[in-house]
């Protein structure tokens, strides 16, 4: 039976991959950016758990922080949501 460390790494890995898939398949851009940020934070957590703190810190600051915030600001400034067409 695997130890608790292996189960934690697998759980975070599954959540990270699931959020990455949601980010790719989501049609709502704001939800996609939020899923991308969660996926990037999960990847940073995996780096920390696998004893690579420099890569984890870099991923957390650049991936989850900078890119996600810039994408959200760009979406908000550009209008973000599409208008719903009434049929």
The tens place of each residue's pLDDT in the chain, 87 residues long, gives 788 889 999 999 999 999 999 999 988 887 888 888 899 999 999 999 999 999 999 988 888 778 778 887 877 887 755 556 566
For residues 38 and 32, what is the distance between their CA atoms, to the nearest angstrom? 10
Q: In the chain, which ranges are E strands? A: none
> What pLDDT score does 13 carry?
95
- Confidence at residue 34, expressed as pLDDT on a 0 to 100 scale: 85
Res 80: pLDDT: 54
Whose CA is closest to 57, among 46, 70, 73?
Answer: 46
Longest dimension (CA), the chain: 56
pTM, full prediction: 0.77
pLDDT the model gives residue 63 = 80
What pLDDT does residue 20 have? 94
Cβ-Cβ contacts under 8 Å for 42 (sequence gap 6 or more): 12, 13, 15, 16, 19
* Rounded distance between C-alpha atoms, residue 60 and residue 8, angstroms: 19
């Amino acid at each position: 039976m695997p130890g608790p460390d292996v189960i934690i790494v697998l759980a975070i890995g599954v959540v990270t991959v699931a959020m990455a898939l949601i980010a790719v398949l989501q049609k709502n851009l704001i939800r996609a950016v939020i899923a991308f940020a969660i996926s990037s934070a999960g990847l940073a957590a995996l780096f920390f758990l696998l004893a690579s703190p420099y890569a984890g810190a870099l991923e957390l600051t650049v991936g989850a922080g900078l890119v996600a915030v810039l994408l959200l600001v760009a979406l908000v400034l550009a209008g973000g949501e599409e208008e719903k067409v009434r049929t």
